[in-house]
Amino acid sequence: MASGELQFESVKEDRGWYFVEYTPPQVDNWFAMLDVQVVETGTDKAVAEAMEREVNLWLQRYPIPVMVAAFDDTDDLRDLTGTRPCSHLMAYIDASTGQHRLSWSPPSDDEIPHEELDDETLLRVYSQIPVTRKTEADREAEFRAFARRVRT
């Protein structure tokens, strides 16, 4: 396969009163992103519990550290500080125990998994997700097109 950075598509799933969008790690990230988009009224407690449930499901599917955030129907970050210590949830699989570790505060440096997420690992873990490779020329072309639209 040609050289360049991997660009995986995101995976979206509908859960009724919310939907989720999982985005595999991008260049220089050691974690994936999971957005919980709340489209109907839900209490902060219900949203936080949905985030915890979802992160466990996605860690089983893709064993890569993940950060979860919830957003309301206007794309604003859902403030969960009345229910949890902060509005973001970090989760990963403890290498020594195989257990899921969930944290409502930033993990300490010793808690952060230090495994290298190389292309081979990412392609194996995300084998069911479409991927492209972006070269430096691709990124420059995208930037020029974006700059042209902004100038116009």
* pLDDT tens, the chain, 152 aa long: 445 688 899 999 999 999 999 999 977 778 999 999 999 988 999 999 999 999 999 999 999 999 999 999 889 999 999 999 999 999 999 888 989 999 998 777 776 666 667 888 889 999 999 888 766 665 666 667 767 777 76
Q: In this predicted structure, what is the pLDDT of residue 64?
A: 93
pTM of the model: 0.80
Q: In this predicted structure, what is the pLDDT of residue 143?
A: 66
What is the distance between the alpha carbons of residues 107 and 45, in angstroms, rounded to a whole number? Answer: 22
What is the distance between the alpha carbons of residues 55 and 33, in angstroms, rounded to a whole number? Answer: 10
Query: In sequence order, which residues have a C-beta less than 8 Å from that of residue 9 and are 6 or more positions away?
Result: 129, 130, 131
SS3 call for 55: helix
Query: In sequence order, which residues have a C-beta less than 8 Å from that of residue 24 and are 6 or more positions away?
Result: 8, 10, 32, 62, 64, 122, 125, 126, 129
